[in-house]
Amino acid sequence: MPPGKLRLLITAGPTREYVDPVRYISNESSGKMGHALVAAAVQRGHRVTLVQGPVALPRPSGARLISVISAADMHAACAAAWPWHDALIMAAAVADYTPARRLPAKRKKSSSKYTLHLKPTVDILAELSRERRPGQVVVGFALEDHAARRRAAAKLRRKGLDAIVLNRPEALGAIRVGVEILVQGGAWECVPVGSKAQLGVRLVRLVEHLYRQS
Ligand code: CTP
Q: Establish whether 167 is a catalytic residue.
A: no
d(CA 64, CA 51): 9
Q: Is 42 in the pocket of ligand 1 (CB under 6 A)?
A: no
DSSP letter for each residue of 74-125: HHHHHHHHGGG-SEEEE--B--SEEESS--SSPPPP-SS--PPPEEEPP-HH
With bands split at pLDDT 50, 70 and 90, how would you rate the model's confidence at 50? very high
With bands split at pLDDT 50, 70 and 90, how would you rate the model's confidence at 55? very high
Report CA(179)–ligand 1 centroid distance (Å): 16
Least confident of 77-86, 123-132, 174-183: 174-183
pLDDT in tens, 97-107: 999 999 999 99
Report CA(93)–ligand 1 centroid distance (Å): 7
Domains of the chain: 7-98+118-213 (3.40.50.10300)
Nearest by Cα to 34 from 75, 84, 90, 95: 90
Alpha carbon nearest to ligand 1 atom 17, residue: 142
